[in-house]
Structure 1
Amino acid sequence: MTDQISGQSSPSSPERPTVTAPAPRSRPKPLAVGGIAFATWVMIMIGAYHVILGLAAIIDDDFYVLGRDYVYEFDITAWGWFQLISGAVVLAAGIALITGKMWARVVGIVVALLSAVENFFFIPYYPVWSVMIIALDVLVIWALVTYGPREAENL
């Protein structure tokens, strides 16, 4: 009981804690969740593409034909192994994005950046396709940087 004069509670009555309901979480915008889903599935697709390109280069050295002289020339078999390994990493990063963890987003950004650089060096072999993959990598980076972890968790 509270003493009317002093306003203090008497020792015989325990105070009840005030319970408040948690504030409702605002729902993420569909575009935000769609952006993360887009980044996830495009990374999985790009990773699979890198793996297939790598296997083609490893299996048949003459599969890729260099069009014009290019400053950067590589041994096709070595490039195939590089494509295969980097494709597996991009694929794994895309699958990790499904978890919605922040570390997966950071890895996804770094891997998409490296994939874009890798495709820059692949331009003389498949110019149009390489430029398309670079554009998709840029969109993946944008999608992962733009939206926060709340949207990623709702994937």
Structure 2
Amino acid sequence: MAQTAPQPGTPSSPSSPTAPQSGGDNPWATGGIMFAGVLLLVDGVLGAIKGIAGIASDDVYARINDYVFKFDVTTWGWIHLILGILIAIVGWGILRGSGWARGAGVGLAALNMIANFMWLPYQPIWAVVSLAIDTFVIWALCTARSKSLV
């Protein structure tokens, strides 16, 4: 017996190709989470490299004389190194589908935004790029409703 299309206004069956996806497993949202995980992993590794460069040599980054958030470059190096390692671990957790990693990713991306805002005078272009990456990561992790990542 051939299947007929449901009448307008009646709910379609879950097996119907036109049925809305349950649980919010939208491919765009799932892809956004995957991309956010990759971005966090890469941003964490680059943050760790930025931190190592600051720890290794005080002459790597320009010094700002009259800046409110002025720290020693070595201090900034340690901040970026620790934050970078944590962000890379969380990015890996997101890629593996760990539920804890999603909330931690939002929190660490927010902390990284604050650190990079304060880092603006030292490396303005890279700080703005990192702010944009963190903004996308927060958006992707907060808007996806995948059951496997909650």
TM-score w.r.t. structure 2 length? 0.79
Select 1:51's aligned residue among 45, 48, 53: 48
Equivalent residue, structure 2, for 1:96: 93
Look up the match of 1:20.
none
Equivalent residue, structure 2, for 1:146: 143
2:9 paired residue number: none
RMSD, aligned CA: 2.1
CA contact (8 A) 1:33 1:152 kept: no
Point out the structure with the larger helix share: 2
Instruction: Quote how far apart the aligned CAs of 1:82 are.
Output: 1.4
Describe how 1:2-151 pairs up with structure 2 within 5 A: 26=21, 28-66=25-63, 69-150=66-147
Q: Distance in 2 between matches of 1:74 and 1:53?
A: 15
Whole-Å separation in 2 of the counterparts to 1:151 and 1:32: 12
Structure 2 residue ranges without an equivalent (≥5): 1-13
Counterparts of 1:44 and 1:75 in 2: how far apart (Å)?
26
Q: What is the aligned length?
A: 131
Structure 1 unaligned segments of length 5 or more: list them.
1-22
From the CA coordinates, give the structure whose radius of gyration is larger. Answer: 1
* Identity value in percent: 38
CA offset digits 1:122-144 (Å, max 9, x no partner): 10111121011011101100000
Aligned to 2:6: none
Deviation at 1:151, TM superposition (A): 6.4
Note if contact 2:109-2:134 (Cα within 8 Å) is conserved in structure 1. yes
Shift of residue 69 of structure 1?
A: 3.0
| C-alpha displacement of 1:101 | 2.9
Measured in 2, the distance between the counterparts of 1:54 and 1:77 equals 8
The offset of 1:29, in angstroms, is 2.4
Paired amino acid for 2:84: G
Over 3 Å counting, the alpha-carbon distance change for 1:49 and 1:91 in structure 2 is same
Mapped to 2, the partners of 1:127 and 1:26 lie a distance apart of 42
Once the two structures are TM-superposed, the CA of residue 67 in structure 1 deviates from its matched residue by: 5.1
